Amino acid sequence: GAFRTDDGGETWKPINRGLRNDYLPDPTPEVGFCVHRMALHPSQPDRVFMQLHGGGGLLRTDNSGDQWNDVRGNLPTDFGFSMVTHPRDPATCWVIPLSTPEDGRYMPDGHTAVWRTTDRGTSWTRFDDGLPKRDAFLSVLREAMAHDTLDPVGVTFGTSTGQLWHSS
C-alpha cells in the first residue's frame, strides 16, 4: 500500500483509506495493496494520483493520502501501470489503461491510446492520432512514460516490446 512520513522518515504510517483489494479475503485491510504507480505534482504535493491493482483502480487524494477517491471516470479500464502529471498544471494527468492480467495486460481492443484528464480525473479524453488503432496488443509498464517541460507539454511512452512513441 501507500505510506507517508510527516517527520522526515523517522516514522511511517499507512495511508490506505478508500483503497480496495478485491483479490484478498479482506478487501479493505490496513496494508496489503498492490500499488502500480503514484504521481504527484510538485506545486501541490498533497494531490497524488495512484494506479492500484485489485479492484481499486485509478484514485486521487487531495490530502496527502488521508482519503483516496476513485477517479477512473470514463476510462475503458481502471488497470494500468503508467502515469505522469503535467509539469505545470496539477489538474492534468496522463495514463495508459490496460486490459486486466487475465486478458493479457495490453491496451484494450488492441487500440493504442493515451488518456488525459484536465479536471483532476473527473473525465478523461482519448488521444490516439498517429498511434496504431487495431491489432496493437501493446503494454506499457511502470516507468515507461514521461513528459517534457516544453509548451505545449510532450508525452513519451515506450512499450514492453520496444516501440517508442512521443507526442509534442
Per-residue pLDDT reduced to its tens digit, 74-120: 999 888 999 999 999 999 999 999 987 777 888 999 999 999 999 99
Nearest to 83 by CA among 75, 94, 91: 94
What's the chain's average pLDDT?
92
Is 70's pLDDT higher than 90?
A: yes
- Looking at residue 97, its pLDDT comes to 93
Q: How many Cβ atoms are within 10 Å of 140's Cβ, its own excluded?
A: 25
Is 55's pLDDT higher than 80?
A: no
| 135-150 pLDDT per residue, tens | 999 999 888 999 999 9
Alpha-carbon separation of residue 10 from 1, 3, 7, 63, 143 (angstroms): 19, 12, 6, 21, 28
Percent of residues, the chain, with pLDDT higher than 70 = 98
Provide the b/e sequence for 92-112 (b: ≥16 CB within 10 Å): bbbbbbbbeeeeebbbeeebb
Is 57's pLDDT higher than 80?
A: yes
Q: How many Cβ atoms are within 10 Å of 143's Cβ, its own excluded?
A: 10
Q: In whole angstroms, what is the distance from residue 89 CA to residue 116 CA?
A: 12
The strand ranges marked E within the chain are 3-4, 13-14, 34-41, 44-53, 57-61, 69-70, 79-85, 93-98, 114-117, 125-127, 145-147, 155-158, 164-167
